[in-house]
Amino acid sequence: MKVTYYGHSCFGIEAAGKQLLFDPFVTPNELAKHIDVNQIPADFILLSHGHEDHTADLLSVARRTNATVVATWEIYVWLGKQGITNMHPMNAGGSWTFDFGKVKMIYAHHSSSLADGTYAGSAGGFVVETGGMTFYYSGDTALFSDMTLITERFKLDFAFLPIGSNFTMDVEDAITASGYIKCKKIIGMHYDTFGFIKIDHAEAMRKFKSAGLELILMDIGQTIDVNG
Ligand code: NI
Ligand code: MN
């Protein structure tokens, strides 16, 4: 499965012949100046929550690609008012089978609002089953013990977890979360973008390694092949 990093918490995933895009935030990101947002492909845009560092490029990418936007009911309603019509509303605990695979929306312990102050429902994350693999994209979240429930239903091949602290889990919490979700391959997100969340990469790698886990810190613009 091909995973491309566009910075912060924005990833593109090519699976089952479709392009999935998570949390489009590129143009305001100083670290992603070399990424042309107008070249990012998307058949589906999955949104974890409404905060600007996850939605800044949402409208432009949705309008250009006509991708199906998968988001909470509240964001769905807000997008409708912006003239977006290709959407699928979800809420925590619900699942839906799309043509690329199955998505379950997972609760996240975080807040959520849109740039204009509109309440955006609960923050969330997703477990996605596609292309013979299963992964968890937690979105912005604190560590919460109900992450263990994911393992009741899913065997994860890899997971995207925030590691930048201040607004989300830090490296230590992400290591604990990896245990909760029984997943050894973690792609880090939500770090370095701005001053509050800068991290020491070498130290983060060392801590994950000594916990028997693999931490992947991708370069912005890099594409990797993730295998089970
Ligand atoms: Ni947030
Ligand atoms: Mn965020």
- Residue 139 gets the label, from left (phi > 0), alpha (psi -120 to 50) or beta, of left
Residue with the two structure tokens 């008012």: 81
| Pairwise CA distance, residues 120 & 55, whole Å | 12
Q: 52 alpha carbon to ligand 1 midpoint, in Å?
A: 8
Q: Which residues contact 221 (CB under 8 A, 6 or more apart)?
A: 4, 5, 6, 32, 34, 35
Q: Which ligand is nearest to the CA of 50?
A: 1
Torsion of CA 9, 10, 16, 19, to 10 degrees: 160
Q: 49 alpha carbon to ligand 1 midpoint, in Å?
A: 7
What global pTM score does this model have? 0.98
Q: 184 alpha carbon to ligand 1 midpoint, in Å?
A: 24
Q: 89 alpha carbon to ligand 2 midpoint, in Å?
A: 20
Whole-angstrom CA distances from 38 to 19, 27, 42, 189, 198 are 14, 10, 11, 22, 27
Q: Which residues contact 120 (CB under 8 A, 6 or more apart)?
A: 49, 50, 72, 74, 75, 78, 112, 113, 114
What string of pLDDT tens digits covers the 228 residues of the chain? 999 999 999 999 999 999 999 999 999 999 999 999 999 999 999 999 999 999 999 999 999 999 999 999 999 999 999 999 999 999 999 999 999 999 999 999 999 999 999 999 999 999 999 999 999 999 999 999 999 999 999 999 999 999 999 999 999 999 999 999 999 999 999 999 999 999 999 999 999 999 999 999 999 999 999 986
Q: Which CATH architecture has domain 2-225?
A: 4-Layer Sandwich (3.60)
Three-state DSSP class for residue 218: coil
